[in-house]
Amino acid sequence: MGLFENPLADESFVDQLGSQCGSWSVTWQGVTGNNYTSATILSAITAAVDPSTEIIFSESPGADFVKENNFSYAIVVVGELPYAETNGDNLNLTIAQPGPSTITNVCGKVKCVVVVISGRPVVIEPYISLMDALVAAWLPGTEGQGVTDVLFGDYLPASFLGLGSRQ
């Protein structure tokens, strides 16, 4: 199994709780790094799969790397760094590079599920056709296991609109 991500400014989404928590956690703007004691997405995936499952974790893999390793499937984690208020302003709501390249390089070559870590809706539509599944994890906080519960079918999420449609 391949596990890939797009680190921004050398800040991991898969293996750093600070990026999973976002802002208004320890500080107003949030922090990156592992300043918490709980499950990252990477540690939760490692705990969830059979011990004989080989997990290859790579940041910003090229298409050749994915093709050469002959993965059965992949999990791609992309997202935004922690922010609050004006420090997070983004006029086009797109995922910063190398997120789109990571999705294209990996999902264009192997079956994949993309996990988006963000505090708001982001534009993902241009890449949907490459994905086999998409999980909008929002900011899962210290509970990487909650993400793996969904990824591996231990919990089936459901939702509804709180307001009815206009008639």
41-48 helix and 144-151 helix, angle to the nearest 10 degrees: 50
**End-to-end CA separation in angstroms for the chain:** 47
Strands 133-138 and 112-117: parallel
User: Does residue 18 fall inside a structural domain?
Assistant: yes
Write the pLDDT tens digit of every residue in 51-88: 888 888 888 888 888 888 888 889 998 888 777 777 77
**What pLDDT, on the 0 to 100 scale, is given for residue 132?**
95
For residue 127, give its domain range.
Answer: 2-152
With respect to residue 27, please indicate whether it lies within any of the assigned structural domains. Answer: yes
**DSSP secondary structure, the chain, as one string:** -EEEE--BTTB-SSS-HHHHH-SSSSSTT---S--S-SB-HHHHHHHHS-TT---EEEES--HHHHHHHT-S-EEEEEE-----GGGG--SS-BPPTTHHHHHHHHHTTS-EEEEEE-SS--B-GGGGGG-SEEEEEE--TTBHHHHHHHHTTSS------SSPPP-
55 occurs within a structural domain: yes
Give, in degrees to the nearest 5, the angle at Cα 92 between 90 and 94. Answer: 85
The verdict on residue 121 lying in a domain is: yes
The answer to whether residue 65 sits within a structural domain is yes
Q: What does the DSSP 8-state code read for residue 140? A: -
- Give the pLDDT score at 93: 86
Pick the residue with more confidence: 139 or 43? Answer: 43
pLDDT digits (tens, 9 = 90+) for 100-136: 988 999 998 899 999 998 888 889 999 999 999 999 8
Q: Is residue 30, in this structure, part of any structural domain at all? A: yes
Tell me the CATH number at 55: 3.40.50.1700
For residue 165, being part of any structural domain is answered with no
Please check whether residue 81 lies inside any domain of the structure: yes
